[in-house]
Chain A
Amino acid sequence: SQKIEQNSEALNIQEGKTATLTCNYTNYSPAYLQWYRQDPGRGPVFLLLIRENEKEKRKERLKVTFDTTLKQSLFHITASQPADSATYLCALDLGGNNRLAFGKGNQVVVIP
């Protein structure tokens, strides 16, 4: 069956360190993958998109990698700040019509 797995345990990290989140998937062949941020009581906010032929994408302090052999994406927040505390969702392209399948999300707590 198709699965998208993100760590269910919250990641507690000291301010200034790098947070690394993992998104693993099985029985999907996404042409691209997206990462979103969700704050409590709010809708997801788009952060980054990476295509299957791209190894890495960066935006300010964020970096995403995409390994189609390992079926895995890593999401990094460098120099983390308390304002980065949120839940981060990965979303896989299901092919056609911009259909996305979302992971359950991984909470990050940045400790001052």
Chain B
Amino acid sequence: DTAVSQTPKYLVTQMGNDKSIKCEQNLGHDTMYWYKQDSKKFLKIMFSYNNKELIINETVPNRFSPKSPDKAHLNLHINSLELGDSAVYFCASSPRGGNQPQHFGDGTRLSIL
């Protein structure tokens, strides 16, 4: 049973388009995250939600908008895609609070043409 699942796994699209990535977790966790892993392999936090409430919002262009319809889902919508948005986007979840291990999905590889 997949714990954190993301769709789609691959996304190839043209510059200027708008796209969404979906994430669902079945671990019963309260907290969910979006990370970006660029071509240099650095994994950077973008957003975090705790029970549908935004708690981390790093310096990310406002073309990126997360949405959490319930605590098991966290989607990422990206407007006006740019070449620099090409990366692998990972969703993760954890129990509430600090000192918690994070459970990652297998990523969505976004390629902008």
Contacts and interface: CB of A to CB of B under 8 A. Distances in A.
A96 interface: yes
A98 B100 contact: yes
Contacts of A104: 40-42
Interface of A: 31-32, 34, 41-46, 49, 51, 87, 89, 93, 95-102, 104-105
A93 B45 CA distance: 12
Interface in B35-86: 40-45, 48, 50, 55-56
Interface of B: 4, 31, 40-45, 48, 50, 55-56, 90, 92, 94, 97-107
A98 B94 contact: yes
A44 B104 CA distance: 6
9 contacts: A41-B107, A43-B4, A44-B43, A49-B99, A97-B56, A98-B99, A98-B102, A99-B56, A100-B102
A64 to B, nearest CB: 13
